[in-house]
Structure 1
Amino acid sequence: MTISRVRRVAAGAGQVALGAFLAFAGTSHLTVARREFQAQVPSWLPLDPDFVVLASGVAEISLGAALLGVWKQPARGVVGATAAAFFVAVFPGNIAQFAEHKDGFGLDTDTKRAVRLAFQPLLVAWALGATGAVGTLRALRRRESTR
């Protein structure tokens, strides 16, 4: 098996795993972990925490389903970039959970909450790497600039 093929297989497996992770997390937003996710909604956000949890759950399920179903570029890369942007968009909630000392998901100390913050960039990198998003977006930009 060539290096190129190994990379494609690994990226595909990463994409499926991320899609399953997002679909599971989104489903838990709507069901069993709804209250836990509310701990991540910043107190300064002028929206009902339950609405935010439900909306983000629907977004995660949608992204998960798209990652599980989209295999060809450029759609695959666009979905990956969207997932990465989603992870960036929810990061203030993780920061708020740390800053406001809110418990949730067993994160009952500042140390545990801080460790969780370190993992958010890894989710962004996972979404970008598993879908080839950076290369796809560059190619789309080049194509647009030649029109």
Structure 2
Amino acid sequence: MSAPRLIGAVALGGALVFAGISHLTFARQEFQAQVPPWFPADKDFVVLASGVVEVSLGAALIVLRRRRVAVGLLAAAFFIAIFPGNISQYATGTDGFGLDSDRSRLIRLFFQPVLVVWALWSTGAWRELQTALAEAKPRR
């Protein structure tokens, strides 16, 4: 793994661990603002569960070097899975994390795909996916 990718994976891992800890502790109420009102589960449970997932993914990105591709795929899937919460926050005009205007909530939506690409690129999962897709193509 190249140095930039390693740094990217460790930085993303650290960010996930921090976000997860904040879900579990000091920012619990703020994160509840991102749970869509239509989601069929207790908001506090969702925040706590996602915090545990974030801490786990972050630690895995830092520690499990041989499993980094799989962890990168899981992290990307997680970022996609929580995207409806960001959309809901924008659509309902719910304030949270300093996102107190439609403009700031809209800008936040564009950051989520960056996280997906970051997870795939920094772990080498992007390259693995491209290779797998190329090998799966029927030859003419």
Among candidates 105, 123, 140, match of residue 113 of structure 1: 105
For the residues of structure 2 that align with 1:23 and 1:129, how far apart are their CA atoms? 19
For the residues of structure 2 that align with 1:137 and 1:70, how far apart are their CA atoms? 19
Corresponding residue of 1:83: 75
SS in 1 for 2:65: coil
Q: How does 1:95-110 map to 2 (within 5 A)?
A: 95-110=87-102
Residue 134 of structure 1 and its aligned partner are, at CA, apart by 2.4
CA contact (8 A) 2:121 2:127 kept: no
Corresponding residue of 2:22: 28
Amino acid at match of 1:44: W
TM-score by length of 2: 0.91
- CA RMSD, aligned part only? 1.6
Q: Which runs of 4+ in 1 moved over 6 A?
A: none
CA contact (8 A) 2:17 2:59 kept: yes
Among candidates 48, 57, 64, match of residue 51 of structure 2: 57
Corresponding residue of 1:38: 32
For the residues of structure 1 that align with 2:132 and 2:101, how far apart are their CA atoms? 44
In the comparison of the two structures, how many residue pairs are matched? 135
CA contact (8 A) 1:77 1:137 kept: no
1:135 and 2:132 are equivalent in the alignment: no
Compare 80-89 and 131-140 and name the one that shifted more.
131-140
CA contact (8 A) 1:78 1:137 kept: no
TM-score by length of 1: 0.87
Corresponding residue of 1:145: none
- Per-residue CA deviation, residues 71-121 of structure 1 (Å, 9 max, x unaligned), is 23xx21110010000000000000000001100000000000000001000
Amino acid at match of 1:51: F
Corresponding residue of 1:18: 12
CA contact (8 A) 2:76 2:120 kept: yes
CA contact (8 A) 1:26 1:59 kept: yes
